[in-house]
Structure 1
Amino acid sequence: MSKQLTVLTVCCFFLTIASNAQVTSSIDTTKIKIGEQITYKIQVEADTTDLVVFPEGQTFMPLEMIESYKVDTTKNNARFKLIKKYGLTQFDSGSYMIPKQKVVIGTKTVFTDSLNVEVFSVAVDTTKQNLYDIKPLIEVEKGASNWWIYLLIALVSLGLIGFLLYWFIWRKKPLTEEEEIAMLPPYDRAKLALKKLDESNYLQRSELKDYYSELTFIIRKYLDEKVYDRALESTTDELVDRLNMLKDASQIELSQTDIDNIETILKRADLVKFAKSAPDIELARIDRDTIDVEIDQVKEALPEPTEEEKLLNKQYKEEQDRKKKREKIILTVCASILILVATYVGFGLKYGFKYVADTIIGNETKELLEGDWVKSDYGVPPIMISTPVVLERIELQAIDTIQQVKRTAFGYGDLDSAFNIGVGTTQYNLPEGEEIDINGAVEETIKSLENNGARNLLVKQEQFITPNAAEGLKVFGTGEFPTDVKDQYRSGEYLILIFVADDKSVMQKVALIWNNEDEYTNQIMDRILNSVELKKVEE
């Protein structure tokens, strides 16, 4: 909403009560230069039984009180003579009037006379003192926050996930004994299997069936990998016939004696396994040595691989390596997606899916809500309020009334913003006896909103009490507010807080307008509203 919506004109009044008490006021000078101090003195003569209350706070506007001195008290018979002094100043040249000041004596209220003061500018001799351009605005670095903690948590989490993916997917795991054996060439595996057979206790326990089963499996496995790829599932006769066929076709240079030796041992093993034959233990050892020799003979009989075969083997190995790498990449991507989805679901169930999505994608109002807030005083008398950004001073246009002495306003937001904040203070100089029209102030507030484009406003009123017990009026409701697109409106809420200072000469206001369809904006407005306080100057 535009900055005009953040400052609304309000009225105030003075309350006077006649008194017969003797009160006088004076100043030490009627002419000062900018920034010089005036000593304003109030003298009261009252009975010793009367309680005297002097003005406190910024009641001397348009002059500013910079110091309040202690009361000087003297006693004369049954009466007190009290003298209260104030240090006042002004930083703008011109003619000013110190307004009447209220003094409470017992149950009566007495007002001092108003006094005129002339404030002159300071003449500058440019021949002795050079003039320089006003220094440009500089950006003030924001205070430190705990962002580094969240960054550290994110880095540690990513590091942990990366370590787990490396450890379970990409790390070269140490091979087990079975895997190491499987990586050996067929010849070496066969030799190693024979060695393990020697270390077994089959012969010591006369377990010839198990012994011959292992022995024949070793030779069949070797032949299956190097000679005939169906050697394991073939019968003894089928395997021998295949060996003879390969020998006759000159595909393997294996002698008939070697084939006969292999046939003899395979058939003896068949008798042991199926006919419960029990050859001598020494014969079993001889058969083992024979198989050892025949493995060497088969190796020698195999032809050397051609260059084409070597190339095919190399290409096959490279293709297997690429396949394994692709599998690792796919597994890594799937694991990463699963971790991200699980993390999103976990945080979504705990904090809400919209909150998590806004955190990842980024949401301006959410960042303002969770960012570093600013708690500051605005205006004189000061209004203390916490906001997600610093409010900027707003230049106000002149108004057609001689009763308003001074107006200050601060605000944030425009038509493109999700919310608008306005804080304003108006100093009045009303004739004695006039009272503020609260209903008129409310009507003027609503009219100002409508003049700036708001429509269909629902208006409610109720009392508002700040955390430090200051009482005011809350005007609030819903409506439709213009956007930066012509003839387009958005729904929203507005809230105006109106306070009248104790001396009845100052009107203070806080204005909030926001998009109530954004949950983060609603939280921002609640936090701002709960922070509003009217700060006393002496604090």
Structure 2
Amino acid sequence: MKRIQIILFLLISAFAFSQTLSSKLDKQTLALGEPGNLHIHISNLQAKDVLSAPKNELLPFHFEEIKDSINKQADTYDRIIEFAVYEEGKFTIPALDFRINGQLLKTIPYDIEVINTAQKDDKINDIMKNKEVHLDVQDYWQMYKWYILGVLILLAVIFIIYQLIKYGRRKKSDPIVMTNQTLKELEKLKKKNYIEDGNYRLFYVELLDITRKFITKQYKIPADVLLTDDLIDVIKLNNTISAENEKTIEDIFLRGDLVKFAKVFPDQQNMQDDFEQMKSFVKRSSKDLEVEQLRTGV
């Protein structure tokens, strides 16, 4: 008997101190866009916190929340959501979660039907006549200024990139740049000590290769694909290379071919002289181009 009394006491205490959640929907049939109200009430809070979805985020996707008001007192909690639905059909407000000190309480779900009350022959009147608005230049600027600025920035970036590419190409093809680059290649050839070692064949092979590449890029003459005799003829007809430089190229190229085919055997002095002559030709080449530019007016 005593045990039954204890159980009854515990049950009564639990009901006496537990929170009660109730909810009320004012309409279960709504017209399109007609406001509805859902009222959620919790009693016997005993100053405990209530956790639920944030304001304007309690109802599902199709429900457009117009107003979401919360009134919390020490012992009660009231939340009233005013909403509207802008699609025809049947929709459900699911059971909504509310937590009080870790205890989960849920509302009952509601089914709502949304109907279109407009008739086919209903006349629709404008609330007010359309107004003409005159825009000036300042108004158009405010509307489109970011688009205009964006286009201008894009054009500026394209122009800068174009100039950088153009400058880079011009710099690489500059006669002085090509001259310095070839002089460096000649110095590398000298450091291989072909002259001191008497390795005349490799010396002339590399010397002529360097010179052919230089003539091709500096004078725009296809020296890298022409035979020696053809190259000499083209140089003489071209009139870009000075007579002094023509003679230097002709002498060294002809001697180089004879060396490569083992018809002559130059000594160190001959090799040294040819190296210095070719080096001088490379240095003088920029003057040839300056004269050509003056002659053609470029």
User: TM-score, with normalisation over the residues of structure 1?
Assistant: 0.24
- Greater fraction of residues in strand: 1
Q: Structure 1 or 2: larger helix share?
A: 2
What is the TM-score normalised by the length of structure 2?
A: 0.42
Higher relative contact order (Cα pairs below 8 Å, separated by 6+ residues): 1
